[in-house]
Structure 1
Amino acid sequence: MQTNMVGWFEIPVRDMDRAKKFYETVFDVAIAVHELGDFIMGWFPMSPEKTGASGSLVQHDMYSPSETHGPLIYFTCLDVSQELGRVVEAGGTVLKQKTEIGDGHGFMGLFKDSEGNRIALHSNK
């Protein structure tokens, strides 16, 4: 790998305003809220010059906050289709094939791992 493994994270929320206020207060940051179709996302600040992953709060029907199910983690890779191509053989299930995110943000895909966890992939090509 040429990069750190984790490239993005999403934290499920039921009430974006309440969650935004909570995380802004706890971390003393400004969260930018964006409506992307059915998704409402509260993006954590990101600086390209700094190392580490950034992420978002997400409000959507398919996201459920849970102590046991946790956030959705995106693993960075060179091309999402390569890793998705190995999921079934490794004992998992592809949930969403390689999909363009739009606005130059690259591509994503989803799979269920051998333990039943929903995991995401991200690549720029």
Structure 2
Amino acid sequence: MNKVVVNWFEIPTTDIKRAKAFYEQILDCQMQLVDIGGFDMCFFPGDPSAGATGALIAHETYTPNHAGTLVYLMTDDVAVPLAKVAAAGGKVLREKTQISPEHGFMGVFEDTEGNRVALHSNT
């Protein structure tokens, strides 16, 4: 078995264009909307060979969920995207909080689709 267990994640959406705009705004990135076999997807930026990456996804078999698995997105400073969440249409659920000196910081928000998503940074 590989030492890295997680290699892909998908965050469900009901309105992928709204979700795309939300994540582009809070993460200050560009995401391309593509149709892959009937699934509308927007990929998060990143190098898959460097670790896990994922996408927003819209399809009838996917339902946004506030109580499901918690995905952590890596950022330089958790406080920066959290400060943009409300203006982008989301809700901050947990402000920047230190996990421990060796494990950095985390914060949690609810996106425009109703998903609970976390952020992680070393500073």
Give the TM-score normalised by the residue count of structure 2.
Answer: 0.51
The 8 Å contact of residues 43 and 55 in structure 1, kept in 2 or not, is answered as yes
Deviation of residue 68 (structure 1)?
Answer: 1.7
| Matched AA of 2:52 | A
For residues 51 and 27 of structure 2, the distance between their equivalents in structure 1, rounded to whole angstroms, comes to 16
Deviation of residue 38 (structure 1)?
Answer: 1.9
Deviation of residue 70 (structure 1)?
Answer: 4.1
Q: Deviations over 1:77-107 (max 9, x none)?
A: xxxxxxxxxxxxxxxxxxxxxxxxxxxxxxx
Deviation of residue 52 (structure 1)?
Answer: 2.4
Secondary structure in 2 matching 1:57: strand
Which residue is equivalent to 1:8?
8
Distance 1:3 1:32, change over 3 A: farther
For residues 48 and 54 of structure 1, the distance between their equivalents in structure 2, rounded to whole angstroms, comes to 6
Unaligned residue ranges in structure 1 (runs of 5+): 73-125
| Matched AA of 2:25 | T
Bigger CA radius of gyration:
1
| Matched AA of 1:56 | A
RMSD: 2.0
Which residue is equivalent to 2:52?
53
Q: Counterparts of 1:1-125 in structure 2 under 5 Å?
A: 1-48=1-48, 51-70=50-69
For residues 52 and 21 of structure 2, the distance between their equivalents in structure 1, rounded to whole angstroms, comes to 21
Residue identity over aligned pairs, in percent, reads 39
For residues 71 and 61 of structure 1, the distance between their equivalents in structure 2, rounded to whole angstroms, comes to 21
For residues 33 and 8 of structure 2, the distance between their equivalents in structure 1, rounded to whole angstroms, comes to 16
How many residues are treated as equivalent by the alignment? 71
The farther-off stretch of 13-22 and 33-42 is 33-42
| Matched AA of 1:64 | T
> 4+ runs of 1 displaced by more than 4 Å?
none
Distance 1:55 1:61, change over 3 A: same
